[in-house]
Amino acid sequence: MATRRKTTNEIGFGAEQRAVEEGHLARKSGVNNVFLVKSDTSPSTYEVSWIVLGYLDNLVHFSCTCKSGQNRQHLPIPCKHAALVGRRLEREKIARWIDGLFYGIEEIDTSSYPSVDEIFEAVK
């Protein structure tokens, strides 16, 4: 019997639910678009950065320094840490959850934010 593929909505919601159940908190770092989430398996902290992609209807794309985040960089929400930060952005009225993805609510001045290339270079 073949198993049904999970939808983006189910994957994102499940990741966020796991992060909350495990007691993770997303706290702001000194950089505008970077949050810190404590690891549950080691004493380290993961950096979750986000960027609003205006050319994709303001889709919010996340990057995380955890192993899952690095292996799934092509996904808009690559891991539970990113999903948790997405919910934090939603509470702060920066983003909204629509059909399994986060979208920026309004145009955000990102001129002081590092570029996507700089973010991915920093997490390597």
pLDDT tens digits for range 87-122: 888 888 888 888 778 888 865 555 666 666 666 666
Bridge partners (DSSP) of residue 37 are 26, 46
pLDDT tens digits for range 9-31: 555 556 666 666 666 667 787 77
Read off φ and ψ for residue 31, nearest 5 degrees: -100, 140
Domain boundaries, the chain: 8-122
Read off φ and ψ for residue 33, nearest 5 degrees: -110, 30
pLDDT tens digits for range 72-85: 888 888 888 888 88
Q: What's the pTM value of the predicted model, to 2 decimals?
A: 0.69
pLDDT tens digits for range 36-55: 888 777 778 889 988 888 77
Q: What is the DSSP string of 30-47?
A: SSTTEEEEE-SSSS-EEE
Tokens of 24: 């993770």
Q: Spell out the residues 6+ positions from residue 116 whose beta carbon is closer than 8 angstroms to its own.
A: 51, 61
